[in-house]
Structure 1
Amino acid sequence: MIVYRQRGLANIHTFLVTLIATGFLPLYREILPSLTYVNLEEVELLPYVVAVFLGMVTSSRLIHDRATHLHQLEYWNAFVLALRQAVVVAAFIFTFMFMAKDRTVSRLFLGSYLVLLTGILTVLHSRLPRMLADILFPDSAKMPTLFVGRTGNLEALDSWITNRGHLGMIPVGLLSDTPPSRIERAVAPYLGTTEKLAQVLRERRVGQVILLEWIDDPLVVERMIGLCESEGCRFLIHNNYGAKFARTFIPLEEGGHHFLALQHEPLEDPLNRLLKRLVDIAISLPIVLFVVPPLCIWVRLMQRKQAPGSLFFVNPRGGQNRMSFNMLKFRSMYAIEHDINKQATRGDSRIYPFGAFLRKTSLDEFPQFINVLKGDMSIVGPRPHLPKHDDEFSQVARSYRIRSLVKPGITGLAQVRGYRGEITDPEKLHRRVYWDLYYVTNWSLALDFRIIFLTGWQVIRPPKTAY
């Protein structure tokens, strides 16, 4: 089937690219001394070869994430992919160098190798997949494909079919009991009704049949399967539930049973949860021990001058699995009776001067590292809201509650994308929920570190939405 061809092409490409990148290091060691004064005779190269290999293997997921359009990468996209892989390789190389305290290796050698590696990978990513496809799927390996079903469902697959030619898939025609109502340029010509299936299979030497939609009558489907099996032909059923319900479904297999889920949940993996928790503790523990105490003293002194009252503002927020918890913040408003359910606005009279500074620089959020240590929050995750606001927002954005599948965070993807502060209209709420759900379904440690870095940048240079 096409999926195995696609996967195999990506695997072979990954193997060759890893082999070339790893082998280039000892080759470059032999070439460089003849071009410069650099002496590399005393360098123990094997650990660095291993580091390059591990870096390439670790970054191979970047290739597989692009497997469906690997053969279409333009030079810029190939360069971005190559650069990201080179960064991973550099991390492995320099980690070993500093851990081993190796002073014999030349920084010029390693630096120039990484620059050249980026160029080599760029060329390989932009050219090699097409060359491999031509070699692996010659004319003898072509897969004539027949489509069965309604024309509208075929049109939905138009771009997918067009972009599978490099894998040997050739559309030979369409069989449908509802003939096309208009003459148009179709990706596959109309050949007649489904009664002609046996005839077309034999005459066109079809290698693959794709049923374009689910059919309720099992006898009809069983007949098609029987005809395909008798002709040695593959049979696939296209899952068109996504188009039918205007949403994406995720196919899952568990215990021999097949399900369609609404989203991926990488943080349901206990290992991923453990890794995320370890990062939370590693970052929050030193902050709670060494940063929060002096901040408390500073904030307390300023509060006594400008707005006497409690040091912290403690109020309930919605947490994971819709469980509430008490979230800590440095108090940034005057200690008077006011509606805690009212969102802070720009120029809010309830905020005292130093409190405005705390909010603008996000320093008021630092006590939440205590919440992180307690396990109520994570450093990165959807920002928690008041339970009353959760109820209100869920009426506007239907999928809002999906955010609660993971722990809330001190910072989140929506915030670094510019959606922080007061929620003033439904469009902003929908965009914030969109990025929160993207985080829930696409979580990775790399994404967490990226959000942490961008948050640090926003602390240094607060955005206009910070108040």
Structure 2
Amino acid sequence: MLVFIFSTFSSIGLAEAYRYTVYSLLILAGFVIYTMRSSLWHLDLLHLDGFRCAQLTLRQMLHVAAPLFLFLVAAKDMGISRTFLFSYCSLLACCLFLTNRRLPNALANLCFRGRRQQRTLLCGMPEDFARVEPWLHRKTSFGMQVCGFAALQSGTGTLPNGARWESVDDLEAILAREKINQVVLTRTLTAEGLQALSARCDTAGSRIFILHDLEEQLGRPVRFIRDEGLNFITLREEPLECPLNRLTKRMLDVGIALPVVLFV
């Protein structure tokens, strides 16, 4: 976009500057639409390989290039240099690929280190560790540091890496000794057990996270919704239920159809 803006005021007149400004706004609109409708929170941006980075870059380029080329076709604009346009798109694709590949890790290293790390205690049973181990490994990039293991039942052994499971009866001592910020409970308990464990964590100044197994029980992905103080569980997500998504879809429909109606 900076290339467009620079070229706008460097060697062309006011009319051409207006046209290149429109192109810049179209590119910006493409990025905004992609950001609003994408599901980047479902992507593990810190562990993308080259192939997945290329896929992400391709989707970003389609959202950027599609409005621009549709406008060029609809407006029948023959003034813009095709060589410059394709060179710009190629350079933008390279920049997006390198950004997707390097920037998330650089930001994570900057934001999640030192005092910003989350010292975590895993509370559950040894057989639960295999289920959460990949997740724990990925979260180390976000500053999560597993500093202890508390077993809900006594008589448990050690992990393959040699770490020892301590008893949940010594929870307060473990939290104080390891300076734990958060506790991850890997299985659900009875209501009384959860209340007691939550109260002990609150007293020690640690947050508690509870891993549910509802998806494993139902065999389908679930989504939790809170509406006016009531908690619901749905088995299917409807993107167009969100007014913002409906507005985005309508704007995209109008943005594509309007140039065709006006200029074709």
The alignment's TM-score, normalised by the length of structure 1, stands at 0.47
Q: Does residue 212 in structure 1 map to residue 186 in structure 2? A: yes
What aligned pairs does 1:322-341 form with structure 2 within 5 A after superposition? none
What aligned pairs does 1:280-295 form with structure 2 within 5 A after superposition? none
Distance of aligned partners of 1:116 and 1:180 in 2 relative to their CA distance in 1, 3 Å threshold: farther
User: What residue number does 1:149 align with?
Assistant: 124
What aligned pairs does 1:379-458 form with structure 2 within 5 A after superposition? none
Counterpart residue identity of residue 186, structure 2: L
DSSP 3-state at the match of 2:52: helix
**Match 1:93 to one of 51, 55, 68:** 68
Counterpart residue identity of residue 26, structure 1: I
DSSP 3-state at the match of 1:59: helix
User: What residue number does 2:230 align with?
Assistant: 257
Cα distance between partner residues in 1 of 2:4 and 2:171: 56
**Match 2:215 to one of 242, 265, 287:** 242
Q: CA deviation at 1:55?
A: 0.8
Whether the 8 Å contact between 1:228 and 1:234 is mirrored in structure 2 is yes
Distance of aligned partners of 1:246 and 1:183 in 2 relative to their CA distance in 1, 3 Å threshold: farther
**Which consecutive residues of structure 1, in runs of 5 or more, have no partner in the other structure?**
1-21, 31-38, 280-467
Q: Which moved more, 1:106-115 or 1:238-247?
A: 238-247
Higher helix share: 2
Whether the 8 Å contact between 1:79 and 1:121 is mirrored in structure 2 is no
Whether the 8 Å contact between 1:79 and 1:119 is mirrored in structure 2 is no
Cα distance between partner residues in 1 of 2:108 and 2:178: 24
Q: CA deviation at 1:89?
A: 0.9
Distance of aligned partners of 1:153 and 1:259 in 2 relative to their CA distance in 1, 3 Å threshold: farther
Q: Does residue 231 in structure 1 map to residue 204 in structure 2? A: yes
DSSP 3-state at the match of 1:239: coil
Higher relative contact order (CA 8 A, sep 6+): 2
DSSP 3-state at the match of 1:129: helix
Distance of aligned partners of 1:208 and 1:264 in 2 relative to their CA distance in 1, 3 Å threshold: same
**Which consecutive residues of structure 2, in runs of 5 or more, have no partner in the other structure?**
254-264
Distance of aligned partners of 1:25 and 1:127 in 2 relative to their CA distance in 1, 3 Å threshold: farther
Cα distance between partner residues in 2 of 1:63 and 1:189: 40
Q: CA deviation at 1:156?
A: 1.1
DSSP 3-state at the match of 2:63: helix
User: What residue number does 2:2 align with?
Assistant: 23
Question: Once the two structures are superposed, what CA deviation does each residue of 1:157-209 show, in whole Å capped at 9, x if it has no partner?
Answer: 111111011110011122113357665425x9343121111111111000111
Q: CA deviation at 1:63?
A: 5.8
Distance of aligned partners of 1:161 and 1:62 in 2 relative to their CA distance in 1, 3 Å threshold: farther
DSSP 3-state at the match of 1:173: strand
Cα distance between partner residues in 1 of 2:227 and 2:135: 28
Counterpart residue identity of residue 223, structure 2: I
Cα distance between partner residues in 1 of 2:42 and 2:219: 25
What aligned pairs does 1:3-402 form with structure 2 within 5 A after superposition? 22-26=1-5, 29=7, 41-42=12-13, 43-44=16-17, 45-60=20-35, 64-65=39-40, 67-178=42-153, 183-185=158-160, 189-218=163-192, 220-266=193-239
Whether the 8 Å contact between 1:175 and 1:193 is mirrored in structure 2 is yes
Q: CA deviation at 1:40?
A: 5.3
Cα distance between partner residues in 2 of 1:120 and 1:256: 45
Q: CA deviation at 1:248?
A: 2.8
Question: Once the two structures are superposed, what CA deviation does each residue of 1:14-65 show, in whole Å capped at 9, x if it has no partner?
Answer: xxxxxxxx335435x49xxxxxxxx952432221111111111112257643
Cα distance between partner residues in 1 of 2:117 and 2:133: 19
Task: Give aligned pairs, total.
Answer: 243
Q: Root-mean-square deviation (CA), in Å? A: 2.9
DSSP 3-state at the match of 2:189: coil
Whether the 8 Å contact between 1:179 and 1:190 is mirrored in structure 2 is no
The alignment's TM-score, normalised by the length of structure 2, stands at 0.80
Q: CA deviation at 1:267?
A: 5.8
Of structures 1 and 2, the larger Rg is shown by 1
